[in-house]
Amino acid sequence: MALDLLAENIEGFASEADHSDHLHIEYFPGHDYLSQDSEPLVIAIYGD
């Protein structure tokens, strides 16, 4: 389930983001699928 939600977040971002956009995925209290000891992740789209 957690990987499915992560995949949905990344797919949604990738399909709608501009080349200058980025996505932060990091834990906060009450997060749906990340645990408190998770490392933060930033995803960016680079291209022409």
- Which sequence spans correspond to the domains of the chain? 2-44
Each residue's pLDDT tens digit, 2-46: 899 999 999 999 999 988 899 999 999 999 889 999 999 999 987
User: Residue 48 — pLDDT band, cuts 50, 70, 90?
Assistant: low
Predicted model pTM = 0.74
Sign of CA dihedral 34, 39, 28, 16: negative
3-state secondary structure of 8: helix
User: CA-to-CA distance for 36 and 30, rounded, in angstroms?
Assistant: 10
* pLDDT in the model for residue 1: 85
* pLDDT in the model for residue 37: 96
